[in-house]
């Protein structure tokens, strides 16, 4: 895979799943990598694999909810490599629970990581991306940033917010003639640890949720997801749909408008374990 030789890319949540696959694919295409995660074991594995490819790597513990640390980190990445071209705001968590039984603190936690983590990363890196003269912000939303389903209100809120933030930002960069491209990424079910690591409202069985996700919903490998995302980045796409499930469901949502809710609720009710 070509196209990123000489570029410096920062990837959050790079210790697992899509983030790890993105880092590896970027390295194979010639980029230097700044990888971060709170999962230090996974991060060390990614670092080792990047070095085996021969990539330049800077590896750091970074919690994307810690705004000041994120800002310092972006400055350090710039200092280390001399420039930064791309930020992949990928770190995220899953959460399942109906609204009436979900604690405020759980909704806030999901927003903190899945939405504010993206805002923190975007704002920390944007001055450096502008200064690079060839920047790209890649924000990972979800298929659930395009359609909502029962049991996912917190996650849907964060992912819809990421989409709105990213789509406005893309237009701003164009209008302001800044040299920064912006892409919103919407994966369907990807075979990662996300559901196994996911949180649930009290009383909701996390094991049952992840079993259904792993067996029935996750269909695309992280490597394939990374290839699709980087293809979209290379083509400067505004929106990247990852996986056939995302492509088909996005189409149904666009055709039916709000009608998709009536179509999907009974189907989801049949395949998903209870979220209350
Ligand atoms: N797997 C899917 O089906 C799927 C679908 C749509 C969207 N996504 C999104 O893709 C992104 C990557 O998810 P994944 O599937 O690779 O999951 P994953 O659990 O395999 O990887 C996510 C990584 O993010 C890290 N992380 C979590 N909280 C963090 C924090 N506060 N600060 C820094 N790092 C943190 C985790 O430690 C983990 O290494 C997430 O934003 C997720 O919402 C995934």
Structural domain boundaries in the chain: 8-271
**Per-residue pLDDT tens over the stretch 159-189:** 999 999 999 999 999 999 999 999 999 999 9
Retrieve residue 141's tokens: 């939303």
Q: Which of 62, 194, 212, 215 to mutate to test the pocket of ligand 1 (most atoms within 8 A of CB)?
A: 194
122 pLDDT exceeds 70?
yes
| pLDDT reported for residue 212 | 87
- In angstroms, the CA 31 to CA 25 distance is 9
Contact (Cβ atoms closer than 8 angstroms) between residue 5 and residue 30: yes
- In angstroms, the CA 155 to CA 101 distance is 15
**Per-residue pLDDT tens over the stretch 88-121:** 999 999 999 999 999 999 999 999 999 999 999 9
For residue 111 and ligand 1, the question of a CB distance below 6 A is answered with: no
Contacts of 64 (CB under 8 A, 6+ apart): 12, 13, 70, 89, 91, 113, 116, 117, 118, 120, 121
Q: Which of 10, 12, 17 to mutate to test the pocket of ligand 1 (most atoms within 8 A of CB)?
A: 17
Ligand 1 atom at minimum distance from 191 CA: 1
Secondary element (H or E) of residue 131: helix 117-132
Is 227 strand, coil or helix?
A: helix
Residues with a known catalytic role = 155
Ligand 1 atom at minimum distance from 159 CA: 43
For residue 150 and ligand 1, the question of a CB distance below 6 A is answered with: no
Ligand 1 atom at minimum distance from 43 CA: 39
258 pLDDT exceeds 90?
yes
Contact (Cβ atoms closer than 8 angstroms) between residue 91 and residue 13: yes
Retrieve residue 259's tokens: 């009608």
1 pLDDT exceeds 50?
no
Contact (Cβ atoms closer than 8 angstroms) between residue 37 and residue 91: yes
- The residues facing 11 across adjacent strands are 35, 88
Judge residue 114's burial from the number of C-beta atoms within 10 Å of its C-beta, 0-12 exposed, 13-18 middle, 19 or more buried.
Answer: buried
Contact (Cβ atoms closer than 8 angstroms) between residue 253 and residue 147: yes
Confidence of residue 31 (pLDDT cuts 50, 70, 90): very high
253 pLDDT exceeds 80?
yes
User: Distances from the Cα of 230 to the Cαs of 91, 170, 208, 266, in angstroms?
Assistant: 17, 17, 33, 35
Which of 14-23, 129-138, 212-221 bottoms out in mean pLDDT, i.e. has the lowest? 212-221
- Give all strands of the β-sheet with 32-37 in edge-to-edge order: 57-61, 32-37, 8-11, 86-89, 135-140, 180-187, 239-242
- In angstroms, the CA 164 to CA 236 distance is 18
Contact (Cβ atoms closer than 8 angstroms) between residue 235 and residue 241: no
- Over its C-alpha atoms, the chain yields an Rg (Å, rounded) of 18
For residue 65 and ligand 1, the question of a CB distance below 6 A is answered with: yes
Confidence of residue 144 (pLDDT cuts 50, 70, 90): very high
Of the candidates 4, 161, 183, the residue with the CA atom closest to the CA atom of residue 92 = 161
Is 91 strand, coil or helix?
A: coil
From the CA of 82, how far away is ligand 1's center (Å)?
A: 28
199 pLDDT exceeds 80?
yes
For residue 140 and ligand 1, the question of a CB distance below 6 A is answered with: yes
Query: Is 0.85 surpassed by the pTM of this model?
Result: yes
- In angstroms, the CA 124 to CA 161 distance is 18
Percent of the chain with pLDDT over 90: 90
For residue 261 and ligand 1, the question of a CB distance below 6 A is answered with: no
For residue 21 and ligand 1, the question of a CB distance below 6 A is answered with: no
Which CATH superfamily, name and number, covers 8-271? NAD(P)-binding Rossmann-like Domain (3.40.50.720)
For residue 14 and ligand 1, the question of a CB distance below 6 A is answered with: no
From the CA of 260, how far away is ligand 1's center (Å)?
A: 26
2 pLDDT exceeds 80?
no
Retrieve residue 8's tokens: 């410096």
**Per-residue pLDDT tens over the stretch 216-252:** 889 999 999 999 999 999 999 999 999 999 999 999 9
């Amino acid at each position: 895979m070509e196209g990123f030789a000489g570029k410096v890319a920062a990837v959050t949540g790079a210790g697992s799943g899509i983030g790890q696959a993105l880092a590896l694919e970027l390295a194979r295409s010639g980029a230097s990598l700044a990888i971060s995660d709170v999962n230090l074991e996974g991060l060390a594995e990614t670092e080792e694999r990047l070095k085996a490819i021969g990539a330049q790597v800077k590896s750091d513990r970074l919690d994307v909810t810690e705004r000041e640390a994120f800002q310092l980190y972006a400055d350090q990445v710039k200092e280390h490599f001399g420039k930064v071209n791309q930020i992949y705001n990928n770190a995220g968590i899953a959460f399942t629970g109906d609204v009436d039984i979900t604690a405020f603190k759980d909704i806030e936690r999901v927003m903190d990581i899945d939405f504010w983590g993206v805002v923190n990363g975007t704002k920390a890196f944007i001055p450096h991306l502008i200064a690079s003269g060839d920047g790209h912000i890649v924000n990972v939303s979800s298929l659930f940033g395009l359609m909502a389903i029962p049991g996912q209100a917190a996650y849907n809120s964060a992912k819809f917010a990421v989409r709105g933030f990213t789509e406005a930002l893309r237009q701003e960069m164009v209008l302001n003639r800044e040299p920064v491209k912006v892409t919103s990424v919407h994966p369907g079910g990807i075979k990662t640890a996300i559901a196994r690591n996911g949180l649930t409202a009290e009383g909701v069985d996390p094991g049952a949720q992840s079993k259904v996700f792993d067996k029935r919903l996750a269909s695309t490998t992280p490597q394939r997801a990374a290839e699709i995302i980087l293809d979209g980045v290379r083509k400067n796409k505004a929106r990247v749909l990852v996986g056939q499930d995302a492509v088909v469901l996005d189409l149904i949502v666009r055709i039916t408008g709000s009608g998709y809710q009536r179509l999907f609720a009974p189907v989801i009710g049949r395949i998903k374990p209870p979220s209350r």
